[in-house]
Structure 1
Amino acid sequence: MYTKTKILIVEDEMIIAANISLQLTTLGYEVTGIIPRGEEALVHIENHQPDILLLDINLKGKIDGIETALIMQKTFNIPIIYLTANADGTNFDKAKATNPYAFISKPFKKLDLERAIELTLNRVKSEKEKENIAGEKTYPFILSDSIFVRHLEKMVRVDIKDILYIEAERNYCRIYCKLKEYLLVMTLKDLDEKLPQKHFIRVHRSFIVNISQIDEVATSHIVIAKKAIPVSKTLKEELLNRLQTI
């Protein structure tokens, strides 16, 4: 089944934003929203993660486009296409540090927008193919009571009972055990799909926990080995249901 590429427009000039939205819809893309402020965009991204972010550099409000990108990239790895009417050297250098996929200078033509998105999608496809090749070597082998993870060029067996929790680091996952840590080249979402559900549960966009290691459950977090781990409101009910059935 064909799925449309989802694009979020973060632009505070609403006439420009509406025109971009119309052009994207005409080109066959799905616009997930038109948002004028960076702080509002971060909330939207958390709830409706787009495939591409069209982001104006010079946003009004508490944070500009570059600051919005930096905050977003702590949790999500969404390709950025910057929109800018002021492509001076200082702004360009700051924006470059966020590794954008393209820059579009205002005013721009429909063809500029179309080509920037096509190049972005092509680059994303190429990066995913490379990740898949790397993933074949680094994905863990899952057994009923343990997993094998790559560590220092070896496959190391890690007992499930020794795993405390797993934290997302963009396209990587860090497994925290009682005595060691292991870094995997895979997303938290992919790992969540592979782990045995009877032992693990995702409690936050950035955390999976070993249910048997939970020491405390508070209003907005849980505690494992003295580490406070945030719990999303949407996932807390499932966690409580799982705890009641153990």
Structure 2
Amino acid sequence: MKPDGGILVVDDEFLIADLLSAMLEEMGLDVCGSAASAEEAVAAVRRHEPGLVLMDVRLRGARDGVDAAAEINAISSVPIIFITGSRERETVERIEAIRRGSVLFKPVRFDQLQREVLRAIAA
């Protein structure tokens, strides 16, 4: 099963965004675009209407991925998988407050990503 609209990858580190995109493509999934800031992520959701968003927490600019997800939730019902290197309690609590979100901690293994992506698009 493939999500309609493809998958949007949001990460401010080009190499990580590229790696995640390659992993998704290896799963046979389509990547509709990428973004490096909260503003770019929201604009990309409006433009591409993805079926899933992979969202890094730390992004370029003043707002982070949790801020972007909250704004995205106001305009779309797209599921979001957060990807973060932070296990800080405050960060995890902010992520848990976002509906339609799950969390993967960096470094992300292929099997972890595949499991979460398949779960998210099957829901």
TM-score, structure 1 as length reference: 0.47
Does the residue aligned with 1:74 lie in a helix, a strand or coil? helix
Match of 2:94 in 1: 94
Q: How many angstroms apart in 2 are the aligned matches of 1:41 and 1:121?
A: 19
Q: How many angstroms apart in 1 are the aligned matches of 2:11 and 2:52?
A: 14
Q: How many angstroms apart in 2 are the aligned matches of 1:44 and 1:15?
A: 19
Does the residue aligned with 2:32 lie in a helix, a strand or coil? strand
In the alignment, structure 1 segments of 5+ residues that lack a partner are: 125-246
**Where in structure 1 do 4 or more consecutive aligned residues deviate above 2 Å?**
none
Q: How many angstroms apart in 2 are the aligned matches of 1:119 and 1:101?
A: 11
Structure of higher CA gyration radius: 1
User: Higher relative contact order at CA 8 Å, sep ≥6: structure 1 or structure 2?
Assistant: 2
Residues 6-60 of structure 1: CA distance to partner in whole angstroms, max 9, x if unpaired? Answer: 1100001110110110110110111011211110111111111100010001112
Query: Hey, which of these two has a bigger chunk of helix by percent?
Result: 2
Paired AA for residue 78 in structure 1: V
Match of 1:67 in 2: 67
Does the residue aligned with 2:18 lie in a helix, a strand or coil? helix
Identity %: 28
1:101 Cα deviation (Å)? 3.4
Does the residue aligned with 2:76 lie in a helix, a strand or coil? coil
Is the contact between residue 82 and residue 100 of structure 1 (CA under 8 Å) also seen in structure 2? no
Does the residue aligned with 1:82 lie in a helix, a strand or coil? strand
Q: How many angstroms apart in 2 are the aligned matches of 1:24 and 1:103?
A: 16
TM-score, structure 2 as length reference: 0.92
In the alignment, structure 2 segments of 5+ residues that lack a partner are: none
State the superposition RMSD in angstroms: 1.3
Distance change (3 Å), C-alpha of 1:87 and 1:100? farther
